[in-house]
Amino acid sequence: MKKRKMLAVLMAAFVMIASLPGLNVQADYIGKEAQACKELKILIGADATGVTSQYLSTTPTRIQAFIIVLRLKGLYNDASDYEGERNFKDADTLGWARNYMAYAKDNPNLGWGGYPDGTFAPANKIDGRAFYKVMLETLGYKQDKDFTYAETLDFAEEIGLVEDAGDIAKIKSFTVDDIAVGIYNALNTKPADSDKNLISVMVENNIIASEDAVAAGFEKYRGGKL
């Protein structure tokens, strides 16, 4: 009887503590890759709650993935203010994204050239092959020169961008967390024309501040030294 009473008291105390405002009994866990992208302000979340496990579990659209990559490249402000005359056929289907889509149209080197019918399909979900194609081009590799679209994941495995192409191909819902992993891996991969990892190149080119690189877990950049 005493044991039952003690258990009841403990359970009541736990419920009371868990209900206290501002107290999170179970912390929201995010992986090192997503944490790094958060510190680098590549990922900011969908709303005021920021980068949470719930946000990371969502599957982004093509336009959302494009905006994330723009932050990686330090081009977000340029794209958000861009007013190009050319655009994709479906630019009006998502009014708030017109500037971003026009920027993609005029900068095909970013890897977001759209579809053969002239559309961008901003609301379509991104998949692993499409995303890693962009990561390869971020690293300076060119589709139809260094790799074909069909060979994207195999080539990514060949250069060490992904560990197993088959594992990426099996992902049915490519989430924001998968994007974070891809970006983190890209930052730790050497571009086609460099003997340094992408993070080093971006710090050297003042795209990423050395203190932000340190905060993201890249300790070698402490003090601004490469």
pLDDT in tens, 85-140: 999 999 999 999 999 999 999 999 999 999 999 999 999 999 999 999 999 999 99
Question: Quick check: is 67 in a domain?
Answer: no
Residue among 194, 193, 177 nearest 185 (CA): 177
Q: Is residue 47 part of a domain?
A: yes
Across the range 13-38, mean pLDDT stands at 68
Q: Is residue 180 part of a domain?
A: yes
Is residue 86 assigned to a domain?
Answer: no
Tokens representing 110? 């970013």
| Percent of the chain with pLDDT strictly greater than 70 | 85
Tell me what pLDDT residue 122 has: 96
For the cut 70, the answer to whether the pLDDT of residue 7 exceeds it is no
Query: Residue 226: is its pLDDT beyond 60?
Result: no
The token pair at 106 is: 């005029």
CB atoms < 10 A from the CB of 147, how many?
20
| pLDDT tens by residue, 42-88 | 999 989 999 999 999 999 999 999 999 999 999 999 999 999 999 99
| Per-residue pLDDT tens digits for 147-165 | 999 999 999 999 999 999 9
Residue 68, in any domain of the structure: no
Residues 78/103, Cβ–Cβ less than 8 Å: yes
- Decide if 91 is inside a domain: no
Nearest by Cα to 138 from 120, 159, 117:
159
Residue 152 lies in a domain: yes
Q: How far lies 35's CA from each of 15, 71, 94, in Å?
A: 30, 15, 30
Q: What is the pLDDT of residue 145?
A: 96
Nearest alpha carbon to residue 73 among 213, 197, 207: 207
Instruction: Pick the closest to residue 182 from 193, 171, 192 (CA basis).
Output: 171
**Contact between 162 and 185 (Cβ < 8 Å):** yes
Number of domains comprising the chain = 1
Helix then strand then coil, in percent of the chain rounded to 5, is 55, 0, 45
Residue 4 confidence (pLDDT):
53
pLDDT-derived band at 28, boundaries 50, 70, 90: confident
Residue 54, domain extent? 30-60+125-224
Cα torsion 139, 142, 148, 154 to 10°: value is -20
